[in-house]
Amino acid sequence: MSEYTGYIGRSLEFLKLNDLVVGDSVKILSDLTFSGIIMPRYEHSDDKHVVLKLNSGYNVGLEIDKIENVEKLSTAEKNVEKIQKLETNPSLPKILLLSTGGTIASKVDYRTGAVTPILTAEELNSSVPELARIANIDTEVLFSEYSENIMPDHWLKIAKKLEGYSNSDYSGIIIAHGTDTMHYTSSFLSFSLSGYPIPIALVGSQRSSDRASSDAALNLIGATKFLVESKTKGIYVIMHYDESDEIIACHFGTRVRKNHTSKRNAFQTVGDSPAYLIFNNNIQKNTREKFFKTKVFSPKIHLDTKVALIKYYPGFDSKIIEKIIEMGYKAIIFEGTGLGHIGKTMYESIKKAHENGIFLGMTSQCIEGRVRMTVYESGRDLLNLGIIPLENMIPEVALVKTMWAVANSRDNEDLKKIMLENISSEISY
């Protein structure tokens, strides 16, 4: 990282004029007096401010024109972290942690504010020492991507890596993942690795590890405890249950979505309680599902991204459907209103899509409830046009399942059968 990362123009001149670099500890007199560490800035930021990390852990931007005096307290030093060699405990089970990026798999250099990936078991143990008392943890970095940059090709890489560990002696596997698209990844793994012989937990954090309210450590501790004690199978998303630090929730990978931008309990099971809760060192089972334990592992690691997710709204231009047909898409998942409706202005385009052999599935924009297209005349019209109701499948899950099903089906009839089969709890009853 550059000693002036993110600083340009006037802000860069200010640092050089005052013999300052990122990581220096300073006292600045402005409208108030601020003491802290000069932080790197976002690369497209303006050139009118410098950013300090205060002793409280919060960052503050200070306008250069309002700074009356600046005093350097200490110079940035390279932090050479002493990491104790981690010795395995033969009496404990083994866990594998695969890192894909995101806040959960990072640590913060408090001198510079730089976020760097946790690469080794020793570093992980140094950050969350409680884990070493629960299991022996091996680590491996698959890639380091922000969640929004995780693409279907990444899903395939994760699934193939997991397939290679299906006969290992691990009690479970943690996938450290950014939160924004974690439920897409968990959905694909749920379908492509159905029946996987040990539990898999996708774990993220909503708050970075340099904040007192960070959920990273507790989510990891809860996931590790769940993997070694639950004696179950399946793909789970494991995050905070509420804003407190007392309960961790284990959600089925196909029944969960991120419902808040920043709360620690952003992830919620849709239409039911989480499959498991971890509190007071106990694991409470809430699920009635039994097929995870008996299902035979038969990996099908294929997908086809020629699937569209269309959110209907008043004024939707049906020419978009026409364009999707022209582009050679093989399926469309509609996110309809209420019980599964879209406007009649789209009927001709839908009819054309059906005649072109495109699979058409219906989900609802409503968070709770089930698609029921037989209740109203408009719904029955859509059924006659070839749209298949997808019960209470979450729209994003339906999208991912269709990508997977298109690549693993022989024809449209087989595709329809797969989409209506409850493969990994994506349909709840």
How far does CA 368 lie from the centroid of its chain?
21
Check: CB of residue 408 under 8 Å from CB of residue 418.
yes
Residues classed as catalytic: 103, 179-180, 258
112-149 tens-digit pLDDT: 445 565 556 566 666 788 888 999 999 888 988 888 99
Q: Is the pLDDT of residue 111 over 50?
A: no
The whole-number average pLDDT for the span 409-414 is: 95
Instruction: Give the least confident one: 30-34, 196-200, 212-216.
Output: 212-216
Residue with tokens 């884990």: 131
DSSP assignment string, 266-323: -EEETTS--SEEEETTEEEE-----HHHHPPP---------EEEEE--TT--THHHHH
Residues 6+ apart with CB under 8 A from 245: 215, 218
206, 177, 249: which is closest to 188 by C-alpha? 177
CA gap 38, 248 in Å, rounded: 35
Question: Residue 114: its pLDDT value, please?
Answer: 52
Question: Residue 129: its pLDDT value, please?
Answer: 81
Report which of residues 424 and 206 the model is more confident about.
424
Structural domains for the chain: 9-74 (2.30.30.520), 94-294 (3.40.50.1170), 307-420 (3.40.50.40)
Instruction: Give the least confident one: 278-287, 324-333, 389-398.
Output: 278-287
Q: Is the pLDDT of residue 105 over 80?
A: no
Question: Residue 348: its pLDDT value, please?
Answer: 97
Percentage of the residues of the chain whose pLDDT score is greater than 90: 67
CA gap 24, 37 in Å, rounded: 6
Greatest CA separation for the chain: 75
Measured CA to CA in angstroms, residue 146 lies from 40, 173, 252, 262, 291 at distances of 18, 20, 23, 16, 33
**Residue 172's pLDDT band (cuts 50, 70, 90):** very high
| Dihedral sign computed on CA atoms, order 133, 137, 141, 144 | negative
Q: How far apart are the first and last CA of the chain?
A: 52
Check: CB of residue 142 under 8 Å from CB of residue 161.
yes
CA gap 421, 429 in Å, rounded: 13
Measured CA to CA in angstroms, residue 182 lies from 125, 228, 236 at distances of 24, 22, 10
Question: Residue 215: its pLDDT value, please?
Answer: 79
Model's pTM, two decimal places?
0.84
Report which of residues 58 and 81 the model is more confident about.
58
Question: Residue 80: its pLDDT value, please?
Answer: 45
**Residue 294's pLDDT band (cuts 50, 70, 90):** low
211-223 tens-digit pLDDT: 555 777 889 999 9
